[in-house]
Structure 1
Amino acid sequence: MMDIYRAAERLMGMQDTDWRRHANPLSVWTRFTCLPLLVLAIYARQWIGWWALPLVLLAAVWTWVNPRAFRPPEDFGSWASRGTLGERIFLARAEYDVAPHHIRAAHVLTALSAMGALPLIYGLIVLNPWATVLGLIATILPKVWFVDRMVWIHADVTQSTPGTALPDPTLPFERTTQ
């Protein structure tokens, strides 16, 4: 069965150094600009025609560059940093004891985000601003909640408290199978 989360990670080409950089809160918060910029670029075809294509390309480049654009933080204790670290644990959930309720919640939130993409796509096709904005919000809000769930996963697996200093983002020891 295809793991959509792993497929996205492979598509982005994320390596350990990229993940450390992406744990910078500036990277996490500016990451939420990627979809709105792409949507705006696509919607711009209404005003500038084919000249919107370079804007779409720029938005796609920003989506790839964003996790790599910032230095790793000195402290990985922020909500945003822990969300990134939790996502790494979630991606490697076969090696960690991630509670089933976290996995279920992540799947539900991903499905909600995908359902939000339906009015977004419709709005972009027919150039309906209300459907586009509704879809954009319905796509992004579950993603924010997903990041919050990743913070919770990080806290559970590492037995740490969100908001406290975390100078070393080393992931906990992976579960060994015998």
Structure 2
Amino acid sequence: MDIFKASERLMGMDEATWARHANPISVYTRFTALPLLCAAVLSRFWLGWWALVPIALVLVWTWLNPRLFSTPTHTDSWAARGVMGERVFLNRHTVPIPTHHIRWGYGLSIAAGLGVIPLLWGLWIGDLAWVITGLALSMGAKTWFVDRMTFLYDEMARTHTEYAAWARRAR
């Protein structure tokens, strides 16, 4: 099973949602999801079972975020190209991508996953230092992943008209 495709299906991403998620506001506000989820989980120490309310709100925010903003007027930004690169990466079984992009994608995803280990430990014991360490590792690797996806998109758009057609240039 491809964890990347499973995540896409879980989020219910379709063409229109991907186009809206390419809005830089969507991308940058999406970076709030994991820290907010951590805060919501940690709130169990003072809210008890009521912590399920902020957890549910963060999960709704995570699902709603790529749908909330309009499609960008242009896709020249780092954020938009990163989102389009993620789409290219997800489509790698249909349209092959260069091996070095696959290695970067998997390597950075593994690094982000490894960051979840101290994060989960910190959430379990309520230690903010572990949580922040895990957040820094996980979000740092995810940000680097998005950055690498800009290179993937740029390279693939030069040779595949379908990918090039996603671009909208600033006027």
Q: Deviations over 1:26-77 (max 9, x none)?
A: 0000110001100000001112222211000000000000000100001011
Shift of residue 96, structure 1, vs aligned partner:
2.4
User: TM-score, normalised on structure 1?
Assistant: 0.88
Q: Larger % of helix: which?
A: 2
2:62 maps to 1:82: no
Aligned partners of 1:43, 1:61: CA distance in 2, in Å? 18
Asked whether 1:111 is paired with 2:133, we answer: no
Structure 1 position 94, deviation (Å): 2.2
CA drift at 1:168:
5.3
Partner of 2:153: 154
TM-score by length of 2: 0.92
- Alignment correspondent of 1:3: 2
Matched with 1:133 is: 132
In percent, how many aligned pairs have the same letter?
Answer: 45
* Structure 2 counterpart SS, 1:159: helix
Q: CA RMSD in A?
A: 1.7
The runs of 4+ residues in structure 1 deviating greater than 3 Å are none
CA distance in 2 between counterparts of 1:90 and 1:108 reads: 13
The one of 161, 164, 169 aligned to 2:166: 169
How far apart, in 2, do the equivalents of 1:114 and 1:95 lie? 25
Distance in structure 2 (CA, Å) of the matches to 1:94 and 1:11: 19
Partners of 1:108 and 1:59 lie apart in 2 by 27
Q: Where do residues 56-75 of structure 1 align in structure 2 (5 Å cutoff)?
A: 56-75=55-74
Counterpart of 1:176 in structure 2 is: none
What letter corresponds to residue 68 of structure 2 in structure 1? A
User: Aligned-pair distance for 1:102?
Assistant: 0.5
Alignment partners' CA distance in 2, 1:97 and 1:111: 21
